[in-house]
Structure 1
Amino acid sequence: MRRLSTITVALLASVLLVTGCSPRPDYVPLPEPLPLNFAGQPLPSGSHIEPANKVAPEPASDREILGSLRPDDATPQERVPRIVRRDRLVVGVDQSQYLLSFRDPVTGELTGFEVELAREIAHDMLGTGAKVDFRFVDSSDRAKSLQEGRVDLVIRTMTVTPPRQDVVDFSTPYLSSNMRMLVPRGSNIVDISTIGKGTICVADGSTAVDMARVQAPDSYLLITNRWADCLMAVQQFQADAVLADDTILSGMAAQDPSTDIVSLPLANQFYAVGVKKGNEGLVRQVNSTMERIRKDGTWIEMYNKWFGDYLSAAGPPLLHYREEEEALPDDQHP
C-alpha cells in the first residue's frame, strides 16, 4: 500500500511539472468591456481601469525645457554641507524596474543602472565607501517626496517636462528613451493605432498616461502604481499592451521572452535626477558627477552592462545647461 502511494505521488508530481512547463497559449484578445477581475485574477494592487475618453489629456505645453545648472568650482562641503555632515545620501528609487533599479533575487541587494548612478553621485560627494540610503517611491510620489524632504534625490525614470520643472529642479539628463509598446508575442498589435478598444497598461504619474489618452482615445487604460505591475497584467491577459519608454520595456522583455517591443517611437524623452526646488548646490554637485562619468568612460560601461543586449546608444545625452549671468565681485555691483 505504501509503495502504491509513493508511485501515485510521483505520477502527480510529474503531471504538475509538465503542466507548469507547458508553453504559453496563443494570444487571445481581451473581451470588451474589460471585467474588473478578468479570468479570476484580481487587478494589481492599487490599480484602476479608466474607460475610453473618460479623462481628457493634459494640454501639451508649448514651453521649452529649461537647462540645468553648470557645476562650479566649489567643494561638496560648500555645495551640500548638510548632506556631508550627515555622511549619507538619501535617494528615492524603484525596487522592481528590471535593469534600471531592482532588488536582485539572489543577493537581496538593489542594483541596476539608476542604483549605480546613485552610488557614483554619493562617491563624488562623500568619498570612498559613501553610504546611500535607498528609499522606494512610486511614480506618482516622486515630486512630493522631494518637496517634503523625505529624500535628497529622486533617480527613478523621471522625465524632464516643463510642468515638472515648476515643482522640481533637475540635473542634466542621464538617459534618453523612446516611448514604444510591449505586447505578447503572437498578438496582432504592431503599433498604438491597432489596439482599438483594447486595454493599455501605464504607470500612474508617468508621461505615458497622457500619451495613451491622446494616441489611443478608444482604448481602456489600466493605470498601475508600478511598471512591474504592467508586465504582470500582460502576462495575466488583463492588458493588451504596455506603453512605456524602451529603457523600461527592455527590462520587461528580458524578464519575459514571450513578449515583443513594437511600434515606432511615439516620443523621445530624457531622464534626469530630481532635486528639491531651489537646492542649487545639490544640482551643481550632481552635474559634476554627470560630467565626470561621461569623461572617464563610466557612463558607457554602465549603459553597456545593463542595456547593451537590448538597446544601442552612441553615447550619453548631451549636456543641457541654461545661460547664467556671471556674478560680479562685490566692489563692482552698481
Structure 2
Amino acid sequence: MIEESTDSTLHPGSNDRLRRALRSALTIFSVVVFLALGGVAACVEQNDPKRTVESLREKSPTLRDKVRLRVGVRETLPYLSFRDPNTGVRSGFEIEIAKALAADLGFSEERIDWVTVTNVQNRMHVLQANQADMVVASLTMLADRPVDFAGPYQLVPQAVMVNKQHTKRIDTVTDLRAPDIIVCTGIGSTSSQALEAKGIRLELVNDREQCIEGMKSGRYDAFSSDLPILASIVATNANRFEILSLIVADAEERIGVAVPKGDTALRDLIAYFLNRWLHGPQPSPWLLAYDRTIGPYLDARFRSQPLVDNPPQLVDYDSKVRPQ
C-alpha cells in the first residue's frame, strides 16, 4: 500500500503565482496611494494660503512698486464720469467705482492720477502705451480687444436718443432704416456694429460730442450709444432729448474694467473685489455709487450689480474677508 504524501511544501509553480499576486497587489496599492496624494496636492494647491490679495499685488507688473495709481476716465458725462470745469472735481458712477477699486488695491483718493480718455480707441491706447494702469470708461468686454477685462461691473443695452422737437417721427428700427434718417455713433463702438447689422445708415465720428452738437443742429436724426451714456446726456437736456424704447442690439453690453493685456494678477484682483462687493454687506460700494449718481436716471431693472466672471479664491489678510 502506498501512503499519500503529507508534505505541505508548495510546488515551485505555486510560489511563482504567489509572487505575481503580491506584485499585483502592491501595484494597485501604489496607484491608489498616488491618486490619493495627488488629490491632496490638488486640494492644497487650490487652497494655497500663499494665494492672497497681497501676493497678487506683488505679482502684478502694473502695481509692483507703484505709489500712485493712474486711472483712465472720461470727464464730460454728468452723473456717469464728469469733471467740473470750474472746480476740477470729478463725480459720477464710474468715478465712484474707480475710487472704491483703487482703495481696495491700496491707493487712497489722494494717490490717484486721473487720465482723461475719450473715444474707444483712446481708452485702450492709454493702457497699451503705459499711460494708465486701469480704465473705467464704459468699455465693452470683447475678447478681440487688445486689453484684458475684469467684471462686468454693469450690464446695459444699446439705446437710441432723438430730439424731441424733431419733425421726423422715429418709433421703430424700421424708421431708423429710412433713407433720409442719419444716425450718429462712435467709430469702433458696439453700437455701430449692432446698427450696421440691422441695415441702418450711420455716420461714424471720433467723439460723442460731435453727435450731440449734430443732434442740436439737426444734422443727425438720432444718436446711438450705451444707455447710461445717453441717460447722462438726457439728465442735463431733458427738454431737448429723449431716449426711445427700441431694442438696438440682441444682447446687453457687458461693461468691464480694462487693464493692460497680460496682467492676470491685476485682472484677478479687480474681479475679486467686485465679487466681494456683490456678496458682502449691503449696501455695497457698487450700490452706493449707483444710487447717488446715474441710478435715478435709469430704469429700476438696472439697479443690480451683475455676476463677475471667474472671480478668484483669495485670502485678504488686511480685511480678514474670505472669498464668497
Moved more, 111-120 or 77-86: 77-86
The offset of 1:212, in angstroms, is: 2.2
SS at match of 1:289: helix
The offset of 1:115, in angstroms, is: 1.2
Aligned to 1:122: 102
Aligned to 1:275: 259
Whether contact under 8 Å (2:157, 2:253) holds in the other structure is: yes
SS at match of 2:271: helix
> Equivalent residues in 2 for 1:166-205 (5 A)?
167-187=146-166, 188-195=169-176, 196-197=178-179, 198-205=181-188
Which residue of 305, 308, 314 corresponds with 1:316?
305
The offset of 1:132, in angstroms, is: 1.1
The offset of 1:231, in angstroms, is: 1.8
Counterpart check, 1:290 vs 2:274 = yes
Distance 2:125 2:226 in 1: 22
Q: Structure 1 254/73 Cα, relative in aligned 2: closer, same or farther at 3 Å? A: same
Q: Which runs of 5+ in 1 are unaligned?
A: 1-71, 325-334
The offset of 1:322, in angstroms, is: 7.9
Distance 1:84 1:126 in 2: 12
Whether contact under 8 Å (2:150, 2:267) holds in the other structure is: yes
SS at match of 1:171: strand
Whether contact under 8 Å (1:123, 1:130) holds in the other structure is: no
Query: Taking CA–CA contacts closer than 8 Å with sequence separation of 6 or more, which of the two structures ends up with the larger relative contact order?
Result: 1
1:261-294: CA deviation from partner (whole Å, max 9, x where unpaired):
0032323111001111110111122123212333
Rg (Cα) greater in structure: 2
Q: Structure 1 284/308 Cα, relative in aligned 2: closer, same or farther at 3 Å? A: same
Given the two structures, how large is their TM-score scaled by the length of structure 1?
A: 0.69
Q: Which amino acid aligns with 2:209?
A: A
SS at match of 2:63: helix
Whether contact under 8 Å (1:97, 1:227) holds in the other structure is: no
The offset of 1:314, in angstroms, is: 4.3
Distance 1:100 1:228 in 2: 15
Q: Which amino acid aligns with 1:274?
A: A
SS at match of 1:273: strand
Aligned to 1:148: 129
> Equivalent residues in 2 for 1:42-121 (5 A)?
73-75=52-54, 77-80=57-60, 83=63, 85-121=65-101
Aligned to 1:225: 206
| RMSD, aligned CA | 2.2
Moved more, 309-318 or 278-287: 309-318
Whether contact under 8 Å (1:181, 1:192) holds in the other structure is: no
Aligned to 1:235: 216
Which residue of 260, 263, 285 corresponds with 2:242?
260
Q: Which amino acid aligns with 1:319?
A: V
Q: Structure 1 129/185 Cα, relative in aligned 2: closer, same or farther at 3 Å? A: closer
The offset of 1:308, in angstroms, is: 2.4
